Structure 1
């Protein structure tokens, strides 16, 4: 959901320059050769998952729809291209009227995917579809990487809430996208107010060590915070001595203190000590929040600790070691002529090595067993087998240039949880392994 959905006035910038120059030079050459209007099909997929990952998560679909809708070449952008001498005048004139008028199909946001899954299919003329390559890939590669990391952390956390706190660890615009993707992957809140404003994600935040150091004593800092935010606030207790800080926190806020946060040290050991101390002080309902550069493995190691919530920063916004999904955007079918109705024929790159791909306009379905558990990702170019007809994964996103699949962000989040739950149990193992589903081409 964007700010327009809130009924607020907002200037939506063009996304047309979120692209590589060769998209435009290909367009110019295709216009000159007379091939620009050939009907074409591009597909987004990845040849492999990041090492050790057992499934991927589709993230960023809603942002792709915004980007496609706002892919416009206004006078300022055309002036820039003209001044740089990047394009000739006929091409600039063509771009002045550019609107994507084709169709886009894709896995709905939050769905899981595997090697070869056609997570997005873009259909239109070569000219209109090729221009979208870079912006679509930049969004899907980033957001899907964050969503996958968030999903793994969500599995590790179980029923305990996850707070995304990584805005300061990445580019300011990436931070907003990362908050959104983390929410899709299973996080509950974000510290980033821009993400809260733009996407309705619940926001959280209280104070940092600087606030404690600002005051003459830790007690003064706690008192100021409680007087401002109430006794239900979360007090940061590891600036100096944790044991003394917890005692002071309960004295200041009373047994109704909302939570204490631990941001350093041996979190497993300290959490146990703090829980015991809080209980002895009569603050049995005060929760314990831990932060400190957590990832899915650190979260899993705290499963037996008396921890109530986790705050995650760097690792989630950077994909926990895998900041991209290596998705590609490949031409898989095209017409031999420009006339409407000209049949499509499959095309594919046939270079040596691991960069080969499968040609043809594809469908995808997920085969399940008698218990409804997924057993295979099935991809084909011919008729869909009858037994898979109601298991197809691609849904219409854009039809004749019009977005047809906007949805609340919570719908994508709920979809991901449901899709993950239908995978084999081994999908949730954090140990390194192969994709949990094989990809079958038929």
Structure 2
């Protein structure tokens, strides 16, 4: 169905008014209409109009473009940036109904960005676009500096990307290392610790800080994926139902909405789970409760507090395990299994998906950096571990020791000065 820009602007004004009537509070909203090539590019750069150059972004672009070319994947209907004003991209090939649904979905995200405490405490929306632009400019200056060059910058970026999620996990608390804690146990911010005490030049520290700051910006999104997508889906459904769409649009609306929130095979669809949980909470507690939850919770606490036995059963949630090359159902949503399923969802949400590595100490003998993996039942992948330890060595400049478990036994990985990694069983 063809539509004009003026028609789309009219729908946008109507949707914004409806969102305000429902009580949503959001940043000023801006939309940009783009083609599929631009969407692939923005997806590779995680939505940012400006990002520092690195091969991983190009790899992401080429992979998505190839999959899209051969019809093996679709593209997002939209992409929204947590910024003030809030910037969102719409695909120009979307139908009119899909644009209407997507615009309503965007206002849900916008409200979530402005009001959820993780975003309020952990990000500065008014500085987002400027921060990414400045970071990109700084990295390019180092690349163009004849005394540094691309290869040296790439080496530091590779290492920084390998440990980028080893930062403060409690959003809003800026815990940076100080000289007095150099040999104390349990330093939560590996990247910050290496910046403070690693054998780095000033430009290397600056690049590490670029990756660290951008990671901290994205952590609230990682921590609230189910809540955020569920919230946006809940509100696009509410708003479009209120608009009394003509039949020509309403039928497509039902189909598109069901496509967005349908359960996924073998995994959790965050749109589906979040949408169903908000509906259930509104039914049990009233609409004021979901606004309170939107403000205070993250996925872990959201699921732990509000995913009930009845909802687990209604959604037919189950848990499976892999043994060799086969998969087996491990738990179902009955009286004894639903809590285990809920707890597994909690432990695998947000930053719980990332290994948690803490600084233990620095060896007085050889300046080796001793790290502890907080083992919560999941062993580290040996190949990734060895590669990551070599990257940490590039930043630290001295041997690296990592204490962890493998198949319930205590082990130590050790990366020596030749960057050879060995594994030893302890006890």
Shorter-chain TM range is under 0.3
Work out which structure has the larger RCO, using CA pairs closer than 8 Å and 6 or more positions apart in sequence: 1
Q: What TM-score results when the alignment is normalised by the length of structure 2? A: 0.26
Structure richer in helix, relative to its length: 2
